[in-house]
A and B are shown apart, each in its own frame.
Chain A
């Protein structure tokens, strides 16, 4: 793939604030056109710094950031035409209405007045602010201001959308709406780069994820693979009636079972993780005559996975 084949690409991106904090350490990422990529990491990991470099709000100490193959810090006027961005929690021009603000940004993006009018109606409807078109933004709630931020980001129909913690301050319904919106943007061919500290949230939207910790990329994979990687090698079993010590001993005797512990009236044990062994164990338990009501592999939570990645435990 050539440089132009990526919507977003960074090359050994390093950012040091003053002489002290190393916010980004040699970060190289590649995001293809039309992908939704989650950029995950705890607060202070360097997610926003990366985004600010991509949008030319900051310059890197070394390395390069490219948008559609163009250097984002050397030719920002060209790259910013392609980007819609919602960064951190931006301030709003309190005294202006969504119409006033969007009209200005539409004109900066070279849109015609008529198109601006139509687009204002369209995007405000999309973010459910159509009844607030001419109201002062200063009177909006936090969630409404967030939705307005998204409206501003998508207003000029960019091909790359960069969203920094887009669901921050939104209620559950608002979060779901944003997820649906992002999926719709992808259908329209947009590339979405989504920063968040919520793995669960990102996994519901993104195709792949990049994990960032202390300014370094510590892992990256497709969401599908991440979900597969969090399968654990423990199984929990529930029975119709509580097990007696002799019942426990009979189950413990099954060869493939290790590390058996009673749990919530049933049992939990480890095995080698293969589906064949799992089937063998179930058959073994059934031959003991015990009445099984539930038999299920335990899954690690996304949260456990996230924490293990961030702790450098290498779940890879």
Chain B
């Protein structure tokens, strides 16, 4: 029993060490800085541009939030592609695995640590985006305008982030090249799944299983109808890349959680089975 507990403690320590090492890599490669700058600048556009062109802000704080958060899914997908796309495959492609893998730790602890680093980096970016948006809302509409709906939207955005990172991380586990995993992940979530979802909904079938459809909840929970969503998901009843169906809150949340967990587990299984031949 003692040895078993020691083993668990040592595994958790190795996950933490890998998480820190991976985060250090992201910081030193300036990827983190790049995405953080985008997360800071994007919401600022909605704050700075209207007064500059003498245009009024939307009437309500939640409409402003909905407009602003229309870009959050794009940012999440960019983040996921950048942080998770090469996390596994680059160890094989660039042969850094020849340094990393012959060390006294389980392969699974390495890959869980890497996943955590990618997820938390994306969470950080999403949090920054929401923080800036909330500050803008407070400044324009008053502190009371930042309601519980924003909190719900934030939590859903975090869940969607985990799903996106899991999907791209899975691609990184199975594909040979980092660039393929990143680009395929980006287009899969930005175009392929949304197009399939749209086509399915056109024939009057509810695409409840679609993760990008479920991502529509991020702005739906603000309760302001279509918020001019860019990319997948969108508000209720929108046209174009969105669907004629609105995701149900519980079903949509469950779908995103299922994608996050399912693809994470599949990625870990494939990554630990992969060999440096």
Which of A's residues lie within 8 Å of B, judged by CB?
17, 52, 55-59, 76-78, 80-81, 83, 85, 87-93, 95-96, 100-101, 104-105, 107-109, 149, 152
A108–B17 CB distance below 8 A? yes
Question: In the complex, which residues of chain A have a beta carbon less than 8 angstroms from the beta carbon of B17?
Answer: 104, 107-108
Seed contacts A55-B102, A91-B98, A104-B21; 13 additional CB < 8 Å A-B pairs: A56-B101, A57-B97, A57-B276, A77-B104, A78-B104, A87-B102, A88-B95, A89-B95, A90-B98, A91-B96, A104-B20, A105-B103, A107-B17
Q: Does B105 contact A (CB under 8 A)?
A: yes
Which residues of B from 82 to 102 have beta carbons under 8 Å from A? 94-99, 101-102
A108–B104 CB distance below 8 A? yes
Question: In the complex, which residues of chain A have a beta carbon less than 8 angstroms from the beta carbon of B102?
Answer: 55-57, 80, 83, 85, 87
Sample of 17 A–B contacts (CB below 8 Å)? A55-B102, A56-B101, A57-B97, A58-B276, A78-B104, A80-B102, A80-B104, A89-B95, A90-B95, A91-B94, A93-B25, A95-B28, A96-B24, A96-B25, A100-B28, A104-B20, A108-B14
Which residues of B from 5 to 24 have beta carbons under 8 Å from A? 14, 17, 20-21, 24
Contact with A along B60-73 (1 / 0, CB 8 A): 00000000000000
Question: In the complex, which residues of chain A have a beta carbon less than 8 angstroms from the beta carbon of B24?
Answer: 96, 100, 104
Interface residue total, chain B, C-beta cutoff 8 A: 23
Question: In the complex, which residues of chain A have a beta carbon less than 8 angstroms from the beta carbon of B97?
Answer: 57, 91
Q: Bound state CA distance, A155 and B69, in angstroms? A: 49
Question: In the complex, which residues of chain A have a beta carbon less than 8 angstroms from the beta carbon of B104?
Answer: 76-78, 80-81, 108-109
A16: min CB distance to chain B, Å: 12
Q: Does B59 contact A (CB under 8 A)?
A: no
Quick one: which of A57, A59, A92, A105 contacts B96, CB cutoff 8 A?
A: A92
- Most A CB contacts (10 A, CB to CB) among B21, B94, B275 go to B21
A57–B99 CB distance below 8 A? no
A91 touching B277 in the complex, CB below 8 Å, given contacts A77-B104, A78-B104, A109-B103 = no
A59 touching B275 in the complex, CB below 8 Å, given contacts A77-B105, A91-B94, A91-B96 = yes
Question: In the complex, which residues of chain A have a beta carbon less than 8 angstroms from the beta carbon of B94?
Answer: 91
Q: Bound state CA distance, A107 and B276, in angstroms? A: 24
Q: Bound state CA distance, A93 and B29, in angstroms? A: 10
Which of B's residues lie within 8 Å of A, judged by CB?
14, 17, 20-21, 24-25, 28-29, 94-99, 101-106, 275-277
User: What are the 8 A-B residue pairs with the smallest beta carbon separation, nearest first?
Assistant: A90-B98, A91-B94, A91-B95, A55-B102, A91-B96, A95-B28, A80-B104, A104-B21
A77–B106 CB distance below 8 A? yes
- Most B CB contacts (10 A, CB to CB) among A56, A77, A80, A107 go to A77
Quick one: which of A77, A83, A149 contacts B99, CB cutoff 8 A?
A: A149
Q: Bound state CA distance, A83 and B103, in angstroms? A: 8
Q: Bound state CA distance, A78 and B97, in angstroms? A: 19
B103–A57 CB distance below 8 A? no
A57–B25 CB distance below 8 A? no
Quick one: which of A55, A89, A92, A108 contacts B105, CB cutoff 8 A?
A: A108
A247: min CB distance to chain B, Å: 63
Q: Bound state CA distance, A76 and B103, in angstroms? A: 9
Q: Bound state CA distance, A188 and B218, in angstroms? A: 62
Question: In the complex, which residues of chain B have a beta carbon less than 8 angstroms from the beta carbon of A57?
Answer: 97-98, 101-102, 275-276
Question: In the complex, which residues of chain A have a beta carbon less than 8 angstroms from the beta carbon of B101?
Answer: 55-57
Q: Bound state CA distance, A92 and B21, in angstroms? A: 14
Question: In the complex, which residues of chain A have a beta carbon less than 8 angstroms from the beta carbon of B275?
Answer: 57-59
A95–B95 CB distance below 8 A? no
Question: In the complex, which residues of chain B have a beta carbon less than 8 angstroms from the beta carbon of A95?
Answer: 25, 28-29
Question: In the complex, which residues of chain A have a beta carbon less than 8 angstroms from the beta carbon of B29?
Answer: 95
A152–B99 CB distance below 8 A? yes
Quick one: which of B20, B99, B277 contacts A58, CB cutoff 8 A?
A: B277
Question: In the complex, which residues of chain B have a beta carbon less than 8 angstroms from the beta carbon of A52?
Answer: 276-277
B192: min CB distance to chain A, Å: 31
Q: Which residue of B lies closest to A104 (CB)?
A: B21
Q: Bound state CA distance, A92 and B95, in angstroms? A: 8
Q: Bound state CA distance, A207 and B99, in angstroms? A: 27
Question: In the complex, which residues of chain A have a beta carbon less than 8 angstroms from the beta carbon of B28?
Answer: 95-96, 100
- Most B CB contacts (10 A, CB to CB) among A76, A80, A104 go to A104
Quick one: which of A96, A108, A149 contacts B103, CB cutoff 8 A?
A: A108
Question: In the complex, which residues of chain B have a beta carbon less than 8 angstroms from the beta carbon of A91?
Answer: 94-99
A101: min CB distance to chain B, Å: 8
